[in-house]
Amino acid sequence: MIDLIIFLILLALGYGFGRLAESRHYTSIREREKELNVIPAIASRIPPHGRPDFDIHLVTGSVVISIDYFKRFIAGLRNLLGGRISAYETLLDRARREALLRMKAEARDLGAEMVFNIKLETASIHKGRGGSIGSVEVLAYGTAFIPHQTS
Amino acid sequence: MVRHLFLIRRPDHPSMEYTNPELPEGINTSKQNPLKEFAILTLGMVGVLFISLTLLILLVDYFADKIPFDWERSLPVTRFLDSKNSEKLPLYLEQVSQQVIQSLDLPESMTISVHYVNSDTVNAFATLGGHIVLYRGLLEKLGYEDELSMVIAHEVAHIKYRHPILSASHGVVTGLVLSFIGLSSGDGVVSDLLGSVGMATMIKYSRDYEYQADSDAVESLIRIYGHADGAMGLFNIFDSAKGDIGTVEFLSTHPLTKNRITQVGTMIEGRNILNKNDMIPLPQAFKDGLKQP
């Protein structure tokens, strides 16, 4: 009985705070994406030709986001039945966009005009270990092209 | 808004054009409310598990019933009880037990061993091999022989219907199923929830058994004393001992006392049985004997 109550409270807390954190994060992501849209992040390996007046610099952005109790529970049930783990979709979406934003922010601070050859790396933390909440790290990195400041 | 940022021209590439469009929201995520998914998944899993466990238990019951009582008696539980309860059964308990056992029409091969444990625990139970254990803590709370007979008859009825071996097989089946699911889900919380469902399935049977044992015990009381006041007396003792406040029946192994009273009430209703207030008090010598350390 007590176990059931604790379980329900944890679920409700996870749901409430998880949703709140997610919607806040999305709001902030959208704002900053608009702001940083001036810096294109391009996956191409081919750098722009004919404009040699760039300094190049490695820029990175990494983020660790945790799943909430409620989503983790749904994902656990999904493990048994299969199907889209939609609970993890927003988690990864947020992590990727946040990592790119942090990378772009670094590029902007360096005065870069664009970032080339961007890559994303994903690592899961606490791999399904019983009793632990799963979290994910996404690392975005790329080559920032910074125009010469000489002129 | 699509902004053309710059053009790249290389001798080997005609031209490459980079644009930086605003991406539409929600391509990578599901728009469904997670509560809906939660409800479908949870109710579905709980329902499927409950139904399949119930079917498995019914199947196992079919075979568990066929296990010979002799075989059950040879289980190690016998030796454990004998070594643990060296306390000699008081003569009076022996007499009442014999009287109750005779009134219950047990199959010939079935032998009952009554054990008395000198401990404060307020409990009595029946277990594999026809063993019944009575604790001093419970006996001390009783005032009448009728109530004592009710306790003994209830436990003997469990043995009569082979409840201990049935429950034990339910435990084995449920445990096996849950451990398989638990292993494949790989998630502590999910296994915990499914464990509770398994538990709820099992203890549903446990409650049915309590009702069945109560009903036989009441018949036994009527056969011996001509009325079933001992049952009500015993339930009143349970009621005052702990009460049902804050308990939900589907989460407990025993039915709520008020439901047991209702059942017994329905049983004796309309039966031509003797009036109240002729219960036999427990002999003072027996009560004094219980208090000895």
Looking at residue A48, what DSSP letter applies? Answer: P
The tens digit of pLDDT for each residue in B33-47 reads 888 988 998 899 889
What is the per-residue pLDDT across B98-136, written as a single tens digit (0 to 9) for each?
999 999 888 888 888 888 888 888 888 898 888 898 888
What per-residue confidence (pLDDT) applies to B2?
Answer: 46
What element of type H or E holds B112?
none
| A131 and B CB contact within 8 Å | yes
Q: What value does the mean pLDDT take over residues B248-274?
A: 77
Q: In what order do the strands lie in the sheet with B131-135?
A: B113-117, B131-135, B124-127
Amino acid in position A88: Y
Q: Above pLDDT 90, what percent of chain B? A: 18
**Complex ipTM more than 0.90, yes or no:** no
User: Which positions ≥6 away from B158 have C-beta within 8 Å?
Assistant: B126, B164, B209, B213
Residue B159's pLDDT is 93
Residue-level pLDDT at B108 = 84
| CB contact (8 A) between residue A15 and residue B188 | no
Label residue B212 exposed, middle or buried (CB < 10 Å: 0-12, 13-18, 19+).
Answer: middle
Those residues of chain B whose CB sits closer than 8 Å to some CB in chain A are: 5-6, 8-10, 13, 16, 18, 20, 22, 25, 28-30, 32, 34-35, 37-38, 41-42, 44-45, 181, 184-190, 192-193, 196, 246-248, 251
What stretches in chain A show pLDDT beneath 70? 1, 48-52, 127-133, 149-151
What are the φ/ψ torsions at residue B9 (nearest 5 degrees)? -125, 130
Mutate to test the interface with A, among B10, B29, B248 (most CBs of A within 10 A): B29
Record: contact A42-B247, CB cut-off 8 A: no
Task: For B88-97, write each residue's pLDDT tens digit.
Answer: 778 888 999 9
Minimum distance, in Å, between the CA of residue B53 and any CA atom of chain A: 17
Which one, of A90, A136, A72, A2, lies nearest residue B41 by Cα?
A72
Q: How many CB atoms lie within 10 A of CB B239?
A: 15
For residues B10 and A49, the answer to whether their CB atoms sit within 8 Å is yes
pLDDT of amino acid A121:
95
Q: What is the pLDDT of residues A52-70, one digit of tens each?
A: 678 889 999 999 998 888 9
Distance CA B190, CA A75 (A): 9
In this complex, do B5 and A40 lie within 8 Å of one another by their Cβ atoms? yes
Q: What is the pLDDT of residue A147?
A: 86
Q: Report yes or no: A130 at the B interface, CB cutoff 8 Å.
A: yes
> What is the distance in angstroms between the Cα of A15 and the nearest Cα belonging to chain B?
9
DSSP reduced 3-state for B249: helix
What DSSP state is assigned to residue B75? S
Model pTM?
A: 0.71
Per-residue tokens: A78 = 């999904």
Q: Is the pLDDT of residue B67 over 80?
A: yes
- The model's pLDDT over B159-180, given as tens digits with 9 standing for 90+, comes to 999 999 999 899 999 989 888 8
Of the pLDDT bands very low, low, confident and very high (cuts 50, 70, 90), residue B276 is low
Model pLDDT, residue B100:
92
Write down the mean pLDDT value for chain B.
81
Q: For position A94, what pLDDT does the model report?
A: 94
Residue B285 has pLDDT above 50, yes or no: yes
By the CB < 8 Å criterion, does A92 face chain B?
yes
Taking contacts as CB-CB distances below 8 angstroms, the residues of chain A near B193 are 7, 73
